[in-house]
Amino acid sequence: MAGRFLCSFSVQRDASPCRPHGGGPARHLVVLLHGLGADGHDLIQLAPYLGQAAPDAAFVAPHAPEACDMAPTGLQWFSLQEQSPRAIEAGAVGAAPALDAFLDAELARHGLGSDALALCGFSQGAMMALHRGLHRPAGAACVCAWSGVLPGAEQLASTIAARPPTLLVHGDADPVVPPQALEAARTALDANAVPVTAEPRPGLSHGIDERGIELAGAFLRRYLTGVAGP
């Protein structure tokens, strides 16, 4: 979805954050991180669906800090002109301070700690959700990643700072981010004692399907709100 250049190295809130589905004060915070060439208005559309699973959660979908350098419109967390593992890790590390500042400010605004935080992202947003969930010292309650890559997977043993339960969902017909990224991420997370749930989606291209939303809802219900069951 088209976006606009906002402010270099500064993450801005989406114009339409969503209050808790249950109508009360926020007891949890779900941050939705968009993909390359989109903006925060893209994933905030998931809030009404995921909010049914986490009715006491506020939802916010920030805008990435840079204008996309691979499209005439939209935003990016970092450049993907080069897509080697080293370049992706460096990009995620470079984008981390701005995103961390945003997360800290949003948690403080709601009077919440990182144990009430869920990071959910799609594509490049999934890369950022995975990276920050595993490397923020305070961690997060859980991470949900759709169609992403785990930055720095080979170095994870020496860089990991937290081990939040992590959901990986990826279409096996994805022409943008190779489907093999799911197994690579699962292997690295398993090797570093991160609780991981992974599900390839048959026939799914680069996107989020109904099953992917359902899985994320169940994950939020279990690990963010602490409610067991479907």
65-88 pLDDT per residue, tens: 999 999 888 999 999 999 999 999
With the C-alpha atoms ordered 95, 98, 102, 107, is the resulting torsion angle positive or negative? positive
Predicted pLDDT at 18: 87
List beta partners, residue 173: none
**Gap between the Cα atoms of 70 and 218, Å rounded:** 34
Q: Highest mean pLDDT range out of 35-44, 62-71, 192-201, 220-229?
A: 192-201
- Give the catalytic positions in this structure: 123, 174, 206
Q: Does the pLDDT value for residue 159 go beyond 70?
A: yes
Q: How far is CA 47 from CA 30, 50, 51, 75, 160, in A?
A: 9, 5, 5, 20, 29
Residue 12 lies in a domain: no
- Classify strands 66-67 and 28-33 as parallel, antiparallel or unpaired: unpaired
**Cα–Cα distance for residue pair 128/64, rounded to 1 Å:** 10
Q: Is the pLDDT of residue 3 over 60?
A: no
| CA angle 203–205–69, rounded 5-degree value | 170
Which helix (DSSP H) or strand (DSSP E) does residue 167 occupy?
Answer: strand 166-171
Residue 198 lies in a domain: yes
Please give the average per-residue pLDDT across 37-41, as a whole number. 93
> d(Cα 119, Cα 143) in Å, to the nearest integer?
5
Cα separation of 17 and 4, whole Å?
A: 18
User: Which CATH number covers residue 113?
Assistant: 3.40.50.1820
Tell me the backbone φ, ψ of residue 205, rounded to 5 degrees: -85, -150
> For the chain, what is the domain count?
1
pLDDT tens column, 122-132? 999 999 999 99
Mean pLDDT (the chain) is: 92
Per-residue pLDDT at 160: 98
Residue 68 is assigned to a structural domain of this protein: yes
Domain assignment of residue 205, yes or no: yes
Nearest-5° Cα angle at 130, 173 to 123: 35
Give the pLDDT score at 7. Answer: 30
- pLDDT-derived band of residue 108, with 50, 70 and 90 as boundaries? very high
pLDDT band for position 94 (50/70/90)? very high
Does residue 20 lie in a domain region? no
Rounded Cα distance between 58 and 17, Å, is: 8
Mean pLDDT for 207-219 is 97
Specify the pLDDT at position 71: 83
For residues 181-210, average pLDDT = 98
- 141's tokens: 């309650």
Range of the domain at 184: 28-224
CA distances from 197 to 118, 130, 159, 165, 218 (A): 15, 13, 21, 8, 11
**Residue 197, helix vs strand vs coil:** strand
**Residues 6 or more apart whose Cβ sits within 8 Å of residue 134:** 143, 156, 159, 160, 161, 162, 163, 164, 194
Q: Which helix (H) or strand (E) holds 98?
A: helix 85-110
Domain membership of residue 8 (yes or no) is no
Tell me whether residue 220 is in a domain.
yes
Q: Sign of the CA dihedral 192, 195, 201, 204?
A: negative
* Residue at 4 is within a domain: no
